[in-house]
Structure 1
Amino acid sequence: MSRILLVEDSKNIIRVLKICLQGAGYEVEVVSNGIDAVDMAFQWKPDLILLDIKLPKMNGFLVCETLKEDELIKEIPIIMLSAKAEEEDIKRAYELGAQDYIIKPVEPKKLLNKIESYLKGGERNE
């Protein structure tokens, strides 16, 4: 069973995505701030990370940058989830090493297709 780390601070989005991901057969851990995201990524070593940008304590850009700088976990695919649709935010996410960027609200079927693609070693869809 593939393991997904969901980094999100909105309880409603957590609830919906957790149901969606678990229903698709994934093991899911949830953290709601950037510092816990980094700690959990190192401890749990997920197969994929879904990462919000606007987070307490440490934003998603810094989390992504921190994780991609570490040799042990830099290969874990990161999909950014954000309501921020500005081109500079999307560009920055890719520059920091994110594999994909999905603008909220998230369509569960589209998200599951992207997750499956990355878990099978798929390429980035810009």
Structure 2
Amino acid sequence: MNDNADILLIEDSQSQALCFRLMLERAGYSVEVAPDGASGWRRACSMAPRMILLDIDLPSLDGFQVLGRLKRDRRTADIPVVMLTHRDHVASVQRALDLGANDYLFKDDAPYELCATVAQALEMMRS
């Protein structure tokens, strides 16, 4: 485990987690991966990453539940969260933003937009 990781990626698909992690590591970020909502929540609280990439469809706790917990906890409330999903429903996007997500990225767009979205979220935290 990397307690000094820039990014906590909470993603249950091993292949997608590997793809996203490799893309981010090539861009110079350190990445910790959690395979489900409950372990992701625990890792976020213990490691205080610079940002979190959070899948919506997760076992144990879904991404909305994790996001709600993150934003209610003083230890994690200020960590930027970008939601990752295959869902393209406006209601899902709105729910994530209402719960405090900083951005929303469709997984199909991730190969083209992931690093730029991460850089933008981290830059907003510096401002």
- Pair in the same fold by TM > 0.5: yes
Answering whether residue 26 of structure 2 is matched by residue 23 of structure 1, we say yes
Question: 1:43-65: CA deviations, max 9, x gaps?
Answer: 11000100000000000000000
Structure 1 stretches of 5 or more lacking a match?
A: none
Task: Tell me what 1:41 maps to.
Answer: 44
Aligned structure 1 segments of 4 or more residues deviating by more than 4 angstroms: none
Cα distance in 2, alignment partners of residues 80 and 118 from structure 1: 12
Q: Between Structure 1 and Structure 2, which shows a larger proportion of helix residues?
A: 2
Task: Tell me what 1:103 maps to.
Answer: 106
Shift of 1:111: 1.3
Task: Tell me what 2:77 maps to.
Answer: 74
Answering whether residue 57 of structure 2 is matched by residue 54 of structure 1, we say yes
AA partner of residue 72 (structure 1): R
Shift of 1:106: 3.2
> What is the TM-score when the length of structure 1 is the normalising length?
0.91
Question: 1:79-115: CA deviations, max 9, x gaps?
Answer: 0000011011110000000001111213334111111
Structure 2 stretches of 5 or more lacking a match?
A: none
Question: 1:5-49: CA deviations, max 9, x gaps?
Answer: 000011111111111011111110000110001100011100010
AA partner of residue 62 (structure 2): N
> What is the TM-score when the length of structure 2 is the normalising length?
0.91
Report the identity percentage.
36
Instruction: Provide the aligned C-alpha RMSD in A.
Output: 1.4
